[in-house]
Amino acid sequence: MQTSKELISLLNLKELGNHTFSGDSYTIGSPHVFGGQVLAQSINAAHKTIPENRFLHSLHGYFLEAGNLTVPILYKVEEMRNGGSFSTRRVTAKQQDQTIFILAASFHIKEEGFEHQISFDESIKYPEELLSWDEMFAKFGDFLPKPMKQFLSVDRPIAFKPVRTPNLLEPKNLPPNEQIWFRLKGEKQALDYRTKQEILTYISDYNLLNAAFNPNASTHNFGNTQTASLDHSMWFFRDFDFDDWMLFSTESPNAYGARGLAKGNIFTRDGKLVASFAQEGLLRPKN
């Protein structure tokens, strides 16, 4: 999967009737289904039951079991509420009668109101100064640990450029934060807001736990730690376009008890805050 068109096709589920939908999976280098894919496909299922004038403003999901890449995922949508301004949906994702994920999502009509937003640090390096994952793999691939090399070798429809490039050969402890620029690969195309939200939800599950690793990066990494997304929440604020690089800015306030918490924001290059997110993940050191 190399382009945004392929990603959109993956996220667009097949309707089976009775608010039930089916979707396939694509690996990102992990032996299990990528959590961002299940999140985004669940939103796609919910969108198919929502009036056109209502837009996703928040989602809260729990990952219950690891997904099998070779088995289709069935998504069942329940209409929990249809009010004058808000609609709420519950989505259950199953494989072979086993529930692997549950989601609650809320949708809101467009309304006017006062506003404010935080801004990101404009002193950080911009994409033109940084190496992408693809460029890092081409330049340093022969020297990388096997798990990292395998992960970076997978074709993706998104380009990522970390603001702070880690030294994988001589790792050291870092502050509990991470900033990464990203953009879609392939030709630019006009996308409706719903599709953009589904794509952004998919991307939001990348890189989240890096910030939780950073304070202990000298001794712990994805190679010697069992990791998994436990839950995921997201809030959408403003419309946006994927025509340019966007910034994924995250921080980790805590890691304890084999779990790490990460939270943060997503900005356009010109500083518009489009979404916020939070996730707790499993960080279990391997014996």
Q: Catalytic amino acids?
A: 205, 229, 279
Closest to 8 measured CA to CA, from 153, 201, 151, 277: 201
Closest to 36 measured CA to CA, from 257, 228, 203: 203
Phi then psi dihedrals of residue 111, to 5 deg: -135, 160
268, amino acid identity: T
**Separation CA 259–CA 279 (nearest Å):** 10
Closest to 250 measured CA to CA, from 260, 236, 233, 264: 264
Closest to 230 measured CA to CA, from 189, 179, 284: 284
SS3 of 202, please? Answer: helix
Closest to 44 measured CA to CA, from 87, 86, 105: 105
**Separation CA 248–CA 36 (nearest Å):** 15
Closest to 259 measured CA to CA, from 212, 211, 210, 205: 212
Between helix 193-204 and helix 4-11 the angle, nearest 10°, is 90
